[in-house]
Amino acid sequence: MSAFPSAPLVALDTLWLQVAGTLCNLRCTHCFISCSPDNHAHGMMDRAAVARVLQEAEALGVREYYFTGGDPFLNREIFELAADALARGPLSILTNGVLLKPEWCARLRELSDASPYSLDLRVSIDGWDAATSDAIRGEGTFERILWGIGNLARAGLNPVVTVTEACAGAGSVAGRTRLLSFLTSIGLARPRLKVMPLLRLGVEAQRSRAYGPAETLRGVSLTAAEADVLQCSSSRTVTSRGVFVCPILLDAPAARMADTLSGSLRPFELRYPSCHTCHVEGLTCRT
């Protein structure tokens, strides 16, 4: 039986914080960590918990922060958390956008202006029309997401829009062109777009398909350059339950590496099918 390769932690550059745990106001059918209003697998992180992590991250020289969930805007302290992160480095907040009312976008703009570092808002849609996107994200969500995107743009925060390949053809040249012109049509003068492959985990495994037995890295040996591009060689993810190897494997018990960041700075054995996606499709959750 041949072994799985390991990814060394080359440098802790990127820190993901699951500030809303697995709690989400939506219940998307492609969510690889099955977030929903009632998934309490990972809980909300409060300001003190986040501050402890940020302090340790700063001492370790982390370069950038990402807030995710679930939806980070369900966290009542989200603006304080964002200010705490932006005092230390650039921050990206991943959101479904449906809660982004104008007053909140204005507050985000103030936080951005007050920091020497960049603040990015990243909003996910799943197609260029309500029919495609709502089928995945829920009835009426497309319009609501576009409202949030528009509010960000009006506050002068040009969001990064992500689309997964659940939107058929999104990654092709034609698909990208169509998405970019759609984003221009809704008022994003300089559309920023990231197309992401699907991870056949969580509820997505039922929507499309689960991973097949051949989709693993068993017996594969990675070069330094190949290991270097995997996000687990340069990041860790912190949730209410501890430090995990990456933002993808939150349901895998062995992916929980330690209680603290400094305890998690060791190689990780890539024995999950999603590791195959990362390696073969070059997936990174970073912008």
Partner 1 sequence: MPDLTPARPREEDHGTLRRVALLGGIYSNYLALDAALAVARAREVDAVYALGDFGAFGPHPDRTVERLRDGGVACIQGNYEESLAAGAGDCHCGYTDPRDNHFAQISYDYTRENTSAEHKAWMGTLPGHVRLRVGGSRLLLCHGSPRRINEFLWRTTTPDAFIRRTLAEFATDVVVCTHTGLHWMRFPEPGRGVLNVGALGRPANDGRTHVWCAIVEDHGGVLRAEHVPVPYDHERLAREMTAEGLPAEFVETVRTGWWTTCLEILPAKERAAGRF
Q: Which is nearer to partner 1, 45 or 230 (CB)?
A: 230
DSSP 8-state symbol, 126: -
Return the one option of ligand SF4, partner 1, none that residue 248 interacts with (CB less than 5 to 8 A, by type). Answer: ligand SF4
Q: How far apart are CA 202 and CA 76, in angstroms?
A: 26
| Residue ranges in 4-63 that form contacts with partner 1 under rule CB under 8 A | 8, 10-11, 13, 57-63
**116 binds partner 1 per the rule CB under 8 A:** yes
Residues lying near ligand SF4 in the complex (CB under 6 A) are found at 7, 24, 26-28, 31, 35, 69-71, 96, 230-232, 245-246, 248-249, 268, 270, 272, 274-275, 278
Nearest C-alpha neighbor of 81 from the set 106, 113, 44? 44
List the one residue out of 111, 15, 119 whose CA is nearest residue 64: 15
Nearer to partner 1, 13 or 46 (CB): 13
Q: Segment near partner 1 (CB under 8 A), from 18-26, 43-51, 118-126, 128-136?
A: 118-126
220 binds, among ligand SF4, partner 1, none (CB under 5 to 8 A by kind): none
Fill in the per-residue mask, 120 to 139: x = in contact with partner 1 (CB under 8 A), - = not in contact.
Answer: x-------------------
Cα→Cα distances 233→57, 230, 255, Å: 16, 6, 14
List, in sequence order, every residue forming a beta bridge with 193; answer none if it has no partner.
161
**Which region holds residue 278: left if phi is over 0, alpha if psi is between -120 and 50, else beta?**
alpha
Residue 241 exposed, middle or buried by CB count within 10 Å (0-12, 13-18, 19+)? middle
Q: Count residues near partner 1 (CB under 8 A).
A: 35
Question: Which of positions 155-214 make contact with partner 1 (CB under 8 A)?
Answer: 156-158, 173, 176, 190, 192-193
The four Cα atoms 276, 278, 282, 283 give a dihedral, to 10 degrees, of 140
Task: Give the SS3 label for residue 235.
Answer: strand
Which of partner 1, ligand SF4, none interacts with 97 (beta carbon under 5 to 8 A by kind)?
A: none
Q: In 10 A of CB 174, how many CB atoms? A: 9
Closest to partner 1 by CB, 58 vs 110, is 58
Q: How far is the CB of 206 from partner 1 (least distance, A)?
A: 31
Interacting residues with partner 1 (CB under 8 A): 8, 10-11, 13, 57-64, 88-90, 112, 116-120, 156-158, 173, 176, 190, 192-193, 221-224, 227-228
